[in-house]
Amino acid sequence: MISVDKTKSGISFEIYGFTDTKEKIIKDLIDYLKIEPNEEDFKFIKNKIKYKNIKEREYPDYFRYILNIFTQFMLKGRIIKNKYDIMNPEIKKIEFEDMKKYHSMFINNIKSLKFKIAGNIDINLVKSIHTYLKDNIKITQNNSTTRKLDSKLPKIINYYQKSNLTKELDNGILVYYTFDESYKDYMNIFGKCFLGIGSSILRLNFSNSYTPGALIQERSFMIFEQGRYKSVGEMEDDINKVLFEMINGTIKCENYEDIIESHKMKVNEKKEKTSDFLFNEFVTGKAVFNIPFDELVKRISHIFTEPNRITILLARSDLPNEEYKKLVEDRKKNAKYIINEQIKIIHTEEINYLNNTKI
């Protein structure tokens, strides 16, 4: 069995099979990947994707809109062809010749390859597969100019913009933290705590106009809100206050034990249903753990106290320009990151800001 998954940095293949077939399966996979796609297969796959849960929308939902702006910011201002729905590319516009170009770009621009194998194997099998991979996959030098936040250096960048959605009168904010992959399990649990208690405090204690949400995705933690009775600056301050109180233990995760139990059940269910669970655990490095909330917070607190954070602050479309300018100037002068006030916030209205900095 072969499963394919798209990751943040590339594509992963998980292969399950008998020991005497593993080498053949892996070598065949490499051979097939190198073959240029044919038009008949392309049309079949295109139609399959095209009609799978695709919904055309005249106006995007607010989260997708602000996520699109965030993505454009991270791409140094490059305009995204698919204007609003970055999650579902417009498959119908892709032609067979385009696919051939994409295949060539993929197969000729592989920057790195990681190979892990477990099971009833011997050193000769590993050597044979390793040699085949090395001889048949061209690894190109990574000269990419794409900007990435250096995880070793804490930084906060606030990007300000007025919304172009004239039928949507809410302010919006997207807070994006990055973290090392080894903290993903801890952050999954912290994210559920934030959704369970942190978002409720934001909605009920700070403003009943908020629609808060949170998402853990690969190596990132996102918080999204929209509302119209507080400015985006006030919304950011409120988020920081709640995170600060969670990190310092003032806000407790009341249903923490239930969240931990749910996490364990999810992992155990996978273990019970999959005979290759131990292999998957070996490949991903995941393991069940059970620690108190205070200990969990200690382990992940540096993600917030020494952050790599991008914040998109989206002012409502009907906000007068004078008020918008005053908002930005006030934030530049007075905004503080209360979780760690030693970190200076970088403020910008340039969508291509990352193009003009060494960050």
Mean pLDDT of 227-236: 91
DSSP category for residue 219: T
- Give yes or no for residue 214 having a pLDDT over 70: yes
pLDDT of residue 279: 54
Instruction: Grade residue 359 by pLDDT with cuts at 50, 70 and 90.
Output: low
The number of angstroms, rounded, from the C-alpha of 177 to the middle of its chain's C-alpha atoms is 9
Mean pLDDT of 282-308: 80
Buried b (16+ CB within 10 A) or exposed e, 151-177: eeebbbbbbbbbbebeebebbbbbbbb
**Other C-beta atoms within 10 Å of 234: how many?**
16
Instruction: Report how far residue 44's alpha carbon sits from residue 60's, in angstroms, rounded to the nearest whole number.
Output: 28
Q: In whole angstroms, how far apart are CA 317 and each of 83, 165, 172, 329, 344?
A: 18, 6, 11, 18, 28
Instruction: Report how far residue 60's alpha carbon sits from residue 49's, in angstroms, rounded to the nearest whole number.
Output: 20
Instruction: Report how far residue 270's alpha carbon sits from residue 280's, in angstroms, rounded to the nearest whole number.
Output: 10
**Other C-beta atoms within 10 Å of 211: how many?**
15
Share of the chain above pLDDT 90, in %: 32
Give residue-wise pLDDT tens across range 40-99: 887 787 776 655 544 444 445 888 899 889 999 998 887 765 444 443 445 566 788 877
Give the residue among 70, 315, 313 at the shortest CA–CA distance from 169. 315
**Other C-beta atoms within 10 Å of 123: how many?**
7
Mean pLDDT of 205-231: 83
Give the residue among 115, 109, 175 at the shortest CA–CA distance from 146. 109
Question: Domain 155-356 classified CATH 3.30.70?
Answer: no
Q: Please, are residues 310 and 176 in contact by the beta-carbon 8 Å criterion?
A: yes
User: CATH 3.30.830: which residues of the chain?
Assistant: 155-356
pLDDT of residue 30: 87
pLDDT of residue 345: 96
- Give yes or no for residue 132 having a pLDDT over 50: yes
- Give yes or no for residue 157 having a pLDDT over 60: yes
CA dihedral (81, 351, 240, 238) in degrees, to 10, reads: -80
Per-chain mean pLDDT for the chain: 80
When mean pLDDT is compared over 46-50, 270-274, 283-287, the highest value belongs to 46-50
